[in-house]
Copies of this chain bind each other. A is one copy, B any other.
Amino acid sequence: MGKKLKYPDGSIREIEDEVKVKKKNITKSRLGIDFEKEINDSNEYYLSKELAAIYKKPTPVQIVKVDYPARNKAKIVEAYFKTPSTTDYNGIYREKYIDFEAKSCKELNFSFENIYEHQIRHLERVEKMGGCSFLLIEFSSKNEIYLFPTKILVEKYNDCCNGGRKSIPYECFKDNGFLVEKGFNPRIDYLKAVDTYYFKKKTKK
């Protein structure tokens, strides 16, 4: 926590060992604004139907200086982006703790440069503790979204750490992920994919 992020080119001061240095292509795969908005809208829909309470966490910012130019109106005049401690989204669904990171990819390849190691470890820890966690990934050129299980993400990442492939190809998401339906409301019905991935799987056991 409290580590500064060079932004938006993506390179990072290595003041935390586990933080991987992000490369220039972060801008390409940074969570697309449209994708983020669609997830937020879907979460509002789920909330309105009392199906789930899942929120995006605010962007972490280190506030250095606050001015009061007009009466009572605080204006932050110096602040810096911080490295997020955890993931983008969390909340509750079907009595379960839900936690996920959302990413939008222009290319048909997801590079590990686009996610922090501590975020992967966080997702892993959530699963271990009995929650439901995953990567929600959009391939914008295909207009496809997949729920990608933490277990496989971790396997691929561990391979990468041991000298293996530094990215996950689209085909792997297609083969191992759960396709998320897009619609009018909710725009991105990712909880349906959670049902298939997490809850139905559980029931079968």
Give me the interface of A with B, judged by CB distance under 8 Å. Answer: 5-9, 11, 50, 52-53, 55, 57-61, 63, 66, 72-82, 84-86, 90-99, 122, 125-126, 128-131
Q: Which residue of B lies closest to A4 (CB)?
A: B73
Complex partner residue of A81 from B53, B76, B95, B97, CB under 8 angstroms: B76
Would you call B125 and A50 a contact (CB within 8 A)?
Answer: yes
- Supply 28 A–B pairs (Cβ within 8 Å), ascending by A: A5-B74, A6-B72, A6-B74, A7-B74, A8-B74, A50-B128, A50-B129, A52-B129, A53-B86, A57-B58, A58-B60, A58-B82, A59-B61, A59-B63, A61-B76, A61-B79, A74-B81, A75-B78, A75-B79, A76-B81, A91-B97, A92-B97, A92-B126, A92-B130, A93-B129, A94-B130, A95-B129, A95-B131
Protomer copies: 2
Chain B residues near A78 (CB-CB < 8 A) = 75-77
- A9 to B105 CA separation, bound complex (whole angstroms): 43
The interface residues of chain B lying within 8 Å CB-to-CB of A84 are: 58
- Bound together, the chains give a CA A108 to CA B76 distance in angstroms of 33
What is the minimal beta-carbon distance from A190 to any residue of chain B, in angstroms?
Answer: 17
The docked-state distance in angstroms from the alpha carbon of A28 to that of B98 is 35
> How far is A7 from B81 in the complex, measured between Cα atoms in Å?
20
Residue in contact with A57 in the complex, picked from B57, B63, B122, CB distance below 8 Å: B57
